[in-house]
Amino acid sequence: MKNARVAQLLAGKGDNYILPFMWQHGEDEETLKEYIHVIREAGCRAVCLEARPHPDFAGDGWWHDLDIILAEAKALDMKVWILDDAHFPTGFAAGTVKEAPNELRKQYLNYARLDVCGPKAEVEIPVGEMIHPMILSVNPMLGQPDKKHFDDDTLYHVVAWKVEPMDKMTDPIDLTSLVQDGKLYWKVPEGYWKVYVLYLTHNGVGRDDYINMLDYESCSQQINAVYEPHYAHYKELFGNTIAGFFSDEPLIGNTVGYDFDESIGRKEMMLPWSKYVPDMLKERLGENWMDLLPILWYPSSDPALDAKVRVGYMDTVTRLVERCFSFQLGDWCKDHGVMYIGHLVEDNDVHARLGCSLGHYFRGLAGQHMAGIDNIGNQVLIGGGDSMRPKRFGGVGDGEFYHYELGKLGSSHSHIDPRKGGRALCENFGAYGWETGVKTMKYLADHFLVRGINHYTPHAFSPKAFPDPDCPPHFYAHGENPQYKAFGHLIGYMNRVCHLISDGISLPDVALLYHGESEWAGDYQSDKVLCRELIEHQIDFDIIPSDLLDDMPKFNSELKDGLLWLNGRPVQALIIPYTQFVTLATARFIEAAASAGFPVLVSEKVPEGVSNATTEEQAHFAPVLAAVKTVPTDDMAEALNGLIHRDITVSPDFRRLTVYHYRAGEGDTLLLLNEDPGKAFDGTIAVSTKGTPVIYDALDNLLRPIESKKEGGKMVLSLHIDPLEMTIISFGGEETDALVSFPEQRDAKTLTSFTVSRAESKAYPNFTDPEPIDALTNMARKYPDFSGYYRYETKAELAGKESVLTIDDACETAELFVNGVSAGTRFATPYRFDISGLVKEGENEIAIEVATTLERKVNAMKLGGMMSLSGKGALSATGLIGEVKIG
């Protein structure tokens, strides 16, 4: 096998890419040791300690527990990651911010407004009385019930804007100098005026006991309270047993809750501030920058000015987050021999907004050593790419974003940022509820694997007494979870596929511009729409920020020979989602691309201007932007067909076939996922690659043959891919490879009569209550409260030894035994077993053990509470629910 990564797997030498969460509640030593072993026995060679529930984080109780865990992990040659705070989300700094001086607390810019109609000889405006903290009722689950009141609110600036038709503002007048002893005396000119009283305050609706992400000294509290104490206790383990720290959803936090709508200029909200902001805004907006601040909430009569102000502010905020928070923590970790990982909140494109996220996906995670995303609480759902649905904490989830943009954000960042080293992490499976088993997890893993995510934090192992209501499923649950055994098989599968798509390069066709700055500037189109268009036409891509176009050497990128090289990988075109204004870096790139013959396509219509340019630059780039080729969104894939050499083409058209082409050393790997839950793909796939193709079966860790031919400079593969099935092709086959053909099922017999018995997880394999059945049916109809194992036993007469057994569907995982020997475990469609080496001529004993989820057992407990963040769904069937055929 010329593909070295496959050869390593076949020899059992793959690396570890899985680091599941393990909740910490202060359990006893025996339980902590048991759970470290349970995690290792599931195939995970690392663990991430979720500190959030622990009663004494960074205190004596924490160090006591960590001593036990680290010693056990070291003995088992496991790596330990540590979630970096006492509370969710990261930024609490283990509670130390509560005692910090005001200058290290969050600060906000807020305003009060009074409207005046002139002309008037003079008006008196009580400016001092207009400065007051915003007081709102706060959900105690999301907010802070014991908020401190600060008494240092400060008048910052007073400016009047004249109102024109359509409520647009113009002609600002600075009134600050007219304020005397808290009162403004003003001779009002003709017209209708909005008078803005701008002030700085520490009294916000967000939590005041969290660090200020825009302040370097404030962010250093996170290091002083969490990182340094861990280093002081375990210096000798840093870089070996201790792998690094995990930041979980750090946020700017100028609002409270998870509405996902904190888009600048579109929502009434207090705005984050720090001592660094004024000089940066002055540099971006000019001497009169303070007069322009109201545009952060209300539009002026000049859309170009609005774009300049809002982009200038958001650029300032996100650059400060990048420097003060992300790089400060990441550089500390690098200097201490460990890695810094985690993710921010991405939902519904909030990654480019304030509130519960960090304002800019790429900048917010710039200091980390892996790209990061999360998928929890029913974000990605089988077949759910078109749905808007209830989401965690009462929000609404955007299925199109989750299915088409989320995964590509993470993999793209890992591809283009040298600091990431090709590593992309997804926190997965959490808060999907007890109804979620390995069958669903297999799809959720495949969904992100085929989008290039190669590290995972499964969510979660909880050593708390069963049933812990905190964001299930819990994979072991003190032995109560029947899915645990199959979960280990899933981890083995995931580790093998991750190994195939690591330490190499992806092979994208095009680049797609990140829409963050476009959203700040004005009208825009979300990346998700074009992500979908490209994914559904098997055109691979990376999402790139305009920062890359502004500083290509930083990203090891260049425009050369008619191609854009992204950290060593060429793409053949840049696609820009519709935007009213582009950044100056993007405008310059468009101009350079035209000279280099590199295609740039904009969806729908050309931009109106440049968001952060001078008047002279606006004039210069106006004809450049006017000349850009525009394409309707739905025609983008077709337009690319005439401009680029497609890496992969599919026949017939199959929009739910998702592809990922990866190259590590001499061996190419192709991942193909059929994301249609009901329709199989039967057709051909043409790939631009060299080498002999073979199927790599990552479930059984072996090679299988594939029908292929060379045609038109491409390798053409003939494939059948079942619904929700992943097929993996390695283009490194050799004549000496041992290929295992899967036999065809001939003269199949349908098995209908079984003896069925049951065993709860802790009682397995002691099955009881055997009963005969003549037809397969949903066993929950008879045992609605049962969770555990069903064992189906029968006998089958077979004429020959080459045989296959198939199960149309099961709930959930199925292990097959033939004549007392296991033929393997399957936990998702297709449930297909090659039993040729186990059968004999004549009568054969067949047993199928089906493991359910814990859904029905927990449901019968009538516990209530937040058993998941996704709400209550329809109860699943249990047992064998599809035909069983053998032959």
Q: What is the pLDDT of residues 335-345, one digit of tens each?
A: 999 999 999 99
Task: Give the pLDDT score at 396.
Answer: 84
Task: Give the pLDDT score at 864.
Answer: 63
Phi, psi of 342 (to 5 degrees): 140, -155
Q: What integer is the mean pLDDT of 83-105?
A: 96
- Do the bridges between strand 46-50 and strand 79-83 make them parallel or antiparallel, or are there none, so unpaired? parallel
The verdict on pTM exceeding 0.75 is yes
pLDDT digits (tens, 9 = 90+) for 43-60: 999 999 999 899 999 999
pLDDT exceeds cutoff 90 at 867: no
Q: What integer is the mean pLDDT of 328-352?
A: 98
Amino acid present at 803? S
pLDDT digits (tens, 9 = 90+) for 633-645: 999 999 999 899 9
pLDDT exceeds cutoff 90 at 876: yes
pLDDT band of residue 874 (cuts 50, 70, 90) is confident
254: Cα within 13 Å, side-chain hemisphere: 27
Instruction: Tell me how far apart the alpha carbons of residues 515 and 521 are, in angstroms, rounded to a whole number.
Output: 10
pLDDT exceeds cutoff 90 at 438: yes
pLDDT exceeds cutoff 60 at 538: yes
Tokens of 531: 């992500």
Those residues whose C-beta lies under 8 Å from the C-beta of residue 689, and which sit 6 or more positions away, are 661, 668, 670, 714, 715, 731
Q: Is residue 131 a contact partner of residue 203, using CB atoms and an 8 Å limit?
A: no
CA distances from 92 to 97, 209, 369 (A): 7, 6, 22
Tokens of 877: 């069937």
pLDDT band of residue 666 (cuts 50, 70, 90) is confident
Q: Is residue 401 a contact partner of residue 526, using CB atoms and an 8 Å limit?
A: yes
pLDDT exceeds cutoff 90 at 540: yes
719: Cα within 13 Å, side-chain hemisphere: 31
Task: Give the pLDDT score at 797.
Answer: 93
Tokens of 759: 């065993």
pLDDT band of residue 139 (cuts 50, 70, 90) is low
Q: What integer is the mean pLDDT of 187-200?
A: 97
Q: Is residue 849 a contact partner of residue 815, using CB atoms and an 8 Å limit?
A: yes
Tell me which DSSP letter residue 18 carries: B
Task: Give the pLDDT score at 366.
Answer: 98
Tokens of 731: 């283009």
pLDDT band of residue 147 (cuts 50, 70, 90) is confident
pLDDT exceeds cutoff 90 at 71: yes
Instruction: Tell me how far apart the alpha carbons of residues 822 and 833 are, in angstroms, rounded to a whole number.
Output: 10
Q: Is residue 506 a contact partner of residue 378, using CB atoms and an 8 Å limit?
A: no
- Do the bridges between strand 541-544 and strand 510-513 make them parallel or antiparallel, or are there none, so unpaired? parallel
Angle between helices 584-596 and 615-626 (to 10 degrees): 40
Q: Is residue 214 a contact partner of residue 273, using CB atoms and an 8 Å limit?
A: yes
Tell me which DSSP letter residue 789 carries: E
Q: Is residue 796 a contact partner of residue 753, using CB atoms and an 8 Å limit?
A: no
Q: What integer is the mean pLDDT of 834-846?
A: 94
Tokens of 289: 């920058």
3-state helix, strand, coil in the chain (%, to 5): 30, 30, 40
Q: What integer is the mean pLDDT of 700-708?
A: 96
Q: What integer is the mean pLDDT of 552-567?
A: 97
Q: What percent of the chain has pLDDT over 70?
A: 97
Task: Give the pLDDT score at 803.
Answer: 94
Q: Look at residue 277 and give its three-state secondary structure.
A: helix
Instruction: Select from 809, 761, 766, 807 the least CA-distant residue to 786.
Output: 761
- Do the bridges between strand 842-851 and strand 388-390 make them parallel or antiparallel, or are there none, so unpaired? unpaired
Instruction: Tell me how far apart the alpha carbons of residues 195 and 115 are, in angstroms, rounded to a whole number.
Output: 6
Q: What integer is the mean pLDDT of 100-124?
A: 97
pLDDT exceeds cutoff 50 at 179: yes
Q: What integer is the mean pLDDT of 659-673?
A: 95
Summary mean pLDDT of the chain: 95
Task: Give the pLDDT score at 143.
Answer: 60
Segments in 336-384 forming alpha helices (H) = 361-364
pLDDT digits (tens, 9 = 90+) for 365-416: 999 999 999 999 999 999 999 988 766 555 689 999 999 999 999 999 999 9
Q: Is residue 465 a contact partner of residue 28, using CB atoms and an 8 Å limit?
A: no
Q: Look at residue 573 and give its three-state secondary structure.
A: coil
CA 371-376-377 angle, 5° bins: 160
Task: Give the pLDDT score at 137.
Answer: 47
Instruction: Tell me how far apart the alpha carbons of residues 49 and 246 are, in angstroms, rounded to a whole number.
Output: 9
Q: What percent of the chain has pLDDT over 90?
A: 91
| Strand order, beta sheet including 424-428 | 371-375, 424-428, 455-458
